[in-house]
């Protein structure tokens, strides 16, 4: 956290509602994120995550309620706020046919940052070898890393990432996690949307579970799982699944039956919390 600033809310959303026609994409959401926290907004497709994020970024005018970022109202477009936030949008928002380096240089110039800072970021996201490749020729993971670098090139205090790992293979996803964790370690507040449970669990200090425009719960992953009070699931080697509230007794019984080969024991996961809260099939 930057010195000399009091610890205050990086984001303050009060009773925010935003509708598209009859559809209430965001329905009365209130949210407070302190500075330096890594927050995930978790929800199925169409839950309203992106709309909520865009309302907080100041891209959309709320129908009612308000959003304040770093102590400043986000709507209407606030030029004083923009250099202090970094944004990665869902799609890869790049200038056509520029190389990775030119892309970063362009964004650096938009923020009045020296091009040297942009070159540093190229290194930090591991794209030095791809510096001269056009953005169209980058892999999905490389493009995501470049767009994150573009969001961070001006060293913002608060970073918004909209589904940064969408459409990546598992390996590229893990690589990106390290990068994202590093961003937060530098003291920045990070808000990301995702529909991956494991991602939210691994990265976020707190997770907001969202569905149908509402935030159903907002807490640390472990608190969410504790609150679920879920039964333990025992997965046997032959594919049978035993659900129990007394795992010790159950495992003793299975041991007596000599059925512990390849057994796995699962307590509640964020996914269970999610399914419990939304009461539906996982639709990601």
Partner 1 sequence: MRSPFLALSLAIVRGFVRDKASVFFALVFPLMFLVLFGGLFGDQTQSRVEMVQVGEVALLEEMSDGTRSAFDETFDVSRSEDLQAALTEVRKGDADVAIEMRGDTLVAHYTQTDQVKAAVTQGALRAFVDGTNVALSGEPPRFALEVERVEDDSLSTIQFVTPGLLGWAVAMSAAFGAAATLQGWRQSKLLRRLQLAPVSTRTVVGARVTVTLLIALVQMAIFIGLGAAAFDLTLTGSWWMAVPLLVVGTLCFMALGLLAGAITRTTEGAVNAANFMVLPMAFLSGSFFPLDGAPGWLRAFSTLLPLQHLNEGMLDVMVRGEGPGAALVPLVVLAGFAVVVTLIAARLFRWETA
For binding to partner 1 (CB under 8 A), which residues are involved? 54, 57-59, 77, 79, 82-83, 85, 87, 89-98, 102, 105-107, 109-115, 134
- CB-based burial label for 146 (10 Å; 0-12, 13-18, 19+): buried
Nearer to partner 1, 62 or 221 (CB): 62
Q: Which residues contact 130 (CB under 8 A, 6 or more apart)?
A: 100, 138, 142
Taking the complex as a whole, the smallest distance from the CB of residue 14 to partner 1 amounts, in Å, to 22
Taking the complex as a whole, the smallest distance from the CB of residue 82 to partner 1 amounts, in Å, to 4
Nearer to partner 1, 116 or 248 (CB): 116
Nearer to partner 1, 58 or 268 (CB): 58
Please choose, from the candidates 265, 151, 272, 143, the residue with its C-alpha nearest in 3D space to the C-alpha of residue 201.
272
Taking the complex as a whole, the smallest distance from the CB of residue 109 to partner 1 amounts, in Å, to 3
Distance CA 198, CA 58 (A): 29
On the CB side of 211, CA atoms within 13 Å amount to 16
Nearer to partner 1, 93 or 260 (CB): 93
Q: Which residues contact 156 (CB under 8 A, 6 or more apart)?
A: 83, 84, 85, 86, 188
Query: Is the Cα dihedral 164, 170, 174, 175 positive or negative?
Result: negative
Taking the complex as a whole, the smallest distance from the CB of residue 258 to partner 1 amounts, in Å, to 58
On the CB side of 139, CA atoms within 13 Å amount to 12
Distance CA 103, CA 131 (A): 9
At residue 64, the 3 state secondary structure works out as strand
Nearer to partner 1, 24 or 134 (CB): 134
Task: Please say whether the beta carbons of 68 and 11 come within 8 A.
Answer: yes
At residue 259, the 3 state secondary structure works out as coil
Nearer to partner 1, 115 or 174 (CB): 115
Nearer to partner 1, 36 or 58 (CB): 58
* Bridge partner list, 87: 160
Please choose, from the candidates 49, 37, 50, the residue with its C-alpha nearest in 3D space to the C-alpha of residue 9.
37
Nearer to partner 1, 24 or 174 (CB): 24
């Amino acid at each position: 956290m930057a010195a000399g600033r009091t610890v205050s809310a990086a984001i303050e959303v009060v009773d925010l509602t935003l509708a598209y026609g009859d559809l209430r994409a965001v329905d009365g959401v209130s949210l407070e994120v302190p500075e330096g926290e890594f927050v995930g907004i978790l929800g199925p497709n169409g839950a309203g995550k992106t709309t909520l994020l865009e309302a907080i970024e100041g891209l959309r005018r709320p129908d009612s309620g308000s959003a304040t970022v770093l102590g400043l109202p986000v709507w209407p477009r606030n030029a004083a706020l923009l250099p202090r936030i970094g944004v990665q949008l869902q799609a890869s928002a790049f200038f056509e046919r520029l190389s990775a380096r030119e892309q970063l240089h362009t964004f650096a110039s938009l923020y009045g940052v020296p091009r040297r800072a942009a070159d540093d970021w190229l290194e930090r996201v591991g794209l030095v070898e791809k510096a001269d490749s056009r953005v169209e020729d980058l892999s999905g993971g490389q493009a995501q890393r470049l767009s994150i670098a573009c969001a961070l090139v001006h060293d913002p205090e608060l970073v918004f990432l909209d589904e940064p790992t969408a459409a990546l293979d598992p390996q590229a996803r893990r690589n990106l996690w390290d990068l994202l964790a590093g961003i937060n370690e530098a003291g920045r507040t990070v808000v990301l949307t995702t529909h991956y449970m494991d991602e939210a669990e691994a990265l976020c200090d707190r997770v907001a579970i969202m569905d149908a425009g509402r935030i159903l719960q907002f807490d640390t992953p472990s608190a969410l799982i504790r609150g679920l009070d879920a039964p333990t699931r025992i997965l046997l080697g032959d594919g049978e699944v035993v659900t129990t509230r007394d795992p010790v007794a159950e495992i003793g019984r299975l041991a007596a039956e000599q059925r512990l080969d390849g057994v796995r024991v699962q307590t509640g996961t964020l996914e269970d919390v999610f399914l419990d809260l939304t009461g539906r099939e996982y639709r990601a």
